[in-house]
Amino acid sequence: MSTAVSSNTSAAPGTEERPLRIAVIGSGPAGVYAADMLTKSAEVRDGLVVSIDLFDRYPAPYGLIRYGVAPDHPRIKGIVNALHKVLDRGDIRFFGNVEYGTDLSLEDLQTHYDAVIFATGAIKDADLNIPGIELDGSYGGADFVSWYDGHPDVSREWPLNAKEIAVIGNGNVALDVARVLSKHADDLLVTEIPDNVYAGLKESPVTDVHIFGRRGPAQVKFTPLELRELSHSRDVDIVLYEEDFDFDEASDAAVKSNNQIKTMVGTLTNWLVEQDDDDADPTTGASRRLHLHFLHSPVEVTGTDGKVSGIKFERTELDGTGNVRGTGEFLDYPVQAVYRSVGYFGSALPDVEFDHQRGVVTNDGGRVLGVDGTQVPGIYATGWIKRGPVGLIGHTKGDALETITHLLADRAELPVAAVPGIEAVTELLDSRGVKFTSWEGWNELDAHEKALGAAASETGPVQRERIKVVSRDEMVDVSRGASVVG
């Protein structure tokens, strides 16, 4: 373990006297996997000594696992347990509540570390540029996710007053958003949702949530498990439309060659058949309905008095390649709220070249490039900020492996940090009044949230394993009640 040794600036980086100092910015899965893989690399097994500090702007670790994954997805716990074990070993220091760009600059990092890995992910919605998207009642799905997951920096209030809602997009986030919007709040009470989220959802008058995809059933970007899960919501009927079930040659080829597509087309078709077997009324009489529409391309969000009152689509048709073209037929749906879930988009980082088309840090296999396209020595990227906001948690492992392989291959050319001592960063943050949190602090907050869940279980109608603390100040206070790293 290298973090316990003090550093000597005259020795070559990578020894007990002078470990190779690496900062990882972002403690989502990509950042944690990169840090973990570095500590387990062949070079380290062969004697290289690394010392890694992991920073996050949130007081808690795990990125989108805490502030993206839906609360009714407890199966993700296995991954959290694995990441917890990595950080619990004690050889990677965690600094929460530290933001790159405000609390620490690139120059600070270059002064204290021989290499920096950006793993800052994505938290914002991609734009959907159609008229009316700015109307009151039109929301980004990512913002709603942040609200229901108790993100510390978003408003505690969320307007849930629409009876009919449109969700645009056929990815897993659209499914999450639509499922949470259509579920009964009481069925989410067993999860870790904050109290204000339960209270907000409980008041929702929603009856119909419509998910719209611009392409066909064989072009959805869902995954099979997440699609099937829609049918598990109590008192929510799924409604499909026969005219949306169209397949071109590319669709047939996709069904034949891709098991996931085959399974999902099978699921959707079975639902349609079951619904058609139930004579004229496709529903069971549930109080809420989730409609799945395909071949609908959004054209305009329509409004009255500045508020959403409907949405207009152009019906599309498949063009043989799995893509679609407009048919010139337009369809209007009365809705009082629109959620766009057309993908996430990464945010630019100060002093790091950014590809504004793709929303990623400009890089080649994780090696960050400068404005002239050449490698910036010692600066790397991994995860969604390297590759774009696509893929599951497990996919960030491959990113991390590529990035750390390149970093270790570049080792001889890394710039040598001027102030590599492990206490120097702590002192710098303290001198700036940054109230950083530690791994011990996270364990304290984790235990506190579990205790809140246990207390609510004693008095409430259901067992609750955890209730999330939302306020940043409260998170920091609880965390800093424990011993602080140093």
Ligand X SMILES: Cc1cc2nc3c(=O)[nH]c(=O)nc-3n(C[C@H](O)[C@H](O)[C@H](O)COP(=O)(O)OP(=O)(O)OC[C@H]3O[C@@H](n4cnc5c(N)ncnc54)[C@H](O)[C@@H]3O)c2cc1C
Which residues in this chain contact ligand X in the complex, by CB under 6 A?
A: 25-31, 55-58, 63-64, 68-69, 73, 76, 99-101, 119-122, 145, 173, 176, 344, 383-384, 391-393, 396
Instruction: Give the CA-trace dihedral at 467, 446, 225, 461, to 10 degrees.
Output: -30
Q: Look at the chain and count its residues.
A: 486
Residue 79 binds ligand NAP (CB under 6 A):
no
Please report how close the Cβ of residue 219 comes to ligand NAP at its closest, in angstroms.
Answer: 6
Please report how close the Cβ of residue 157 comes to ligand X at its closest, in angstroms.
Answer: 20
Burial 365-404 (b: 16+ CB within 10 A, else e): ebbbbeeeeebbebbbbbbbbbbbbeeebeebbebbbbbb
* 385-414 binders of ligand NAP (CB under 6 A): 389-392
- Return the one option of ligand NAP, ligand X, none that residue 282 interacts with (CB less than 5 to 8 A, by type): none
Which of 66, 179, 215, 367 is close enough to bind ligand NAP by CB under 6 A? 215
Per CB under 6 A, which region of 89-97, 170-178, 312-320, 406-414 contacts ligand NAP? 170-178
Question: Of the two residues 2 and 396, which places its CB atom closer to ligand X in the complex?
Answer: 396
Residue 265 binds ligand NAP (CB under 6 A):
no
- Return the one option of ligand X, ligand NAP, none that residue 216 interacts with (CB less than 5 to 8 A, by type): none
* 111-140 binders of ligand NAP (CB under 6 A): 128
- Return the one option of ligand X, ligand NAP, none that residue 384 interacts with (CB less than 5 to 8 A, by type): ligand X
Residue 1 binds ligand NAP (CB under 6 A):
no
Question: Of the two residues 20 and 173, which places its CB atom closer to ligand X in the complex?
Answer: 173
Residue nearest to ligand NAP (CB): 171
- Return the one option of ligand X, ligand NAP, none that residue 166 interacts with (CB less than 5 to 8 A, by type): none
Question: Of the two residues 145 and 295, which places its CB atom closer to ligand X in the complex?
Answer: 145
Is the alpha carbon torsion for 332, 336, 338, 339 positive or negative?
Answer: negative
The residue among 152, 27, 80 whose CA lies nearest residue 465 is 80
Residue 344 binds ligand NAP (CB under 6 A):
yes
Residue 428 binds ligand NAP (CB under 6 A):
no
Question: Of the two residues 173 and 265, which places its CB atom closer to ligand X in the complex?
Answer: 173
Which of 28, 96, 171, 359 is close enough to bind ligand NAP by CB under 6 A? 171
Which of 41, 111, 207, 223 is close enough to bind ligand NAP by CB under 6 A? 223
Residue 248 binds ligand NAP (CB under 6 A):
no
Question: Of the two residues 76 and 299, which places its CB atom closer to ligand X in the complex?
Answer: 76
Per CB under 6 A, which region of 11-19, 101-109, 340-348, 356-364 contacts ligand NAP? 340-348
Question: Of the two residues 58 and 333, which places its CB atom closer to ligand X in the complex?
Answer: 58
Q: Which residues bind ligand NAP (CB under 6 A)?
A: 128, 168-174, 176, 213-215, 219, 221, 223, 226, 298, 341-344, 389-392
